[in-house]
Amino acid sequence: MDAYIGKMLDGRYEILEVIGTGGMAIVYKAMDHRLNRQVAVKVLKNDLAQNADFRRRFHDEAQAVAMLSHPNIVSVYDVSHDGDAEYIVMELIDGITLKQYMERRGQLNWREALHFITQIMKGLGHAHSRGIIHRDIKPHNIMILRDGSVKVADFGIA
């Protein structure tokens, strides 16, 4: 069992379950007890959290993306640390990655591809207009919501 499951961060975010793992961080589904809503909490892996440069880059990513308010970009709500845990609190997405979507559906038809790429470009265009570059754009970092809308996630700055 993961060490964070069941833990409370900053007396506010209750970690419920793992929803994703990357090279630098683990993403959890959590409950924000202050605002009574579910969120995603991205926790920097412990070995990287010991490195001051990684911690700085992690916080810089959160602060940069938090400046972006756009319907096609996953929202960042908070960035903090609790003991050894360095974490970013984000919008919890009700959907799947574009990678998962393509694995289930196979090749996209041109209408689907156009629908997705239009929304991706709107989100990236907004970020670029504010000087923020997505450094890890790939199907794994594109979220397809249940309503068919698209959100760009994990800007890869960290």
Instruction: Give the residue numbers annotated as catalytic, written as ranges.
Output: 136
Which is nearest to 133 in space by CA: 65, 43, 54?
A: 65
| Residue 139: count of CB within 10 angstroms of its CB | 14
HSE, side-chain direction, 13 A CA sphere, residue 26: 17
Query: What would you measure as the largest C-alpha separation in the chain, in angstroms?
Result: 49
Question: Would you state the torsion angle of the CA atoms of residues 72, 64, 83, 11, taken in this order, to the nearest 10 degrees?
Answer: -50
The residue behind tokens 């964070």 is 4
Q: Are 144 and 96 in contact (CB under 8 A)?
A: yes
Burial 14-36, CB ≥16 within 10 A → b, else e: bbbeeeeeeebbbbbbbbbeeee
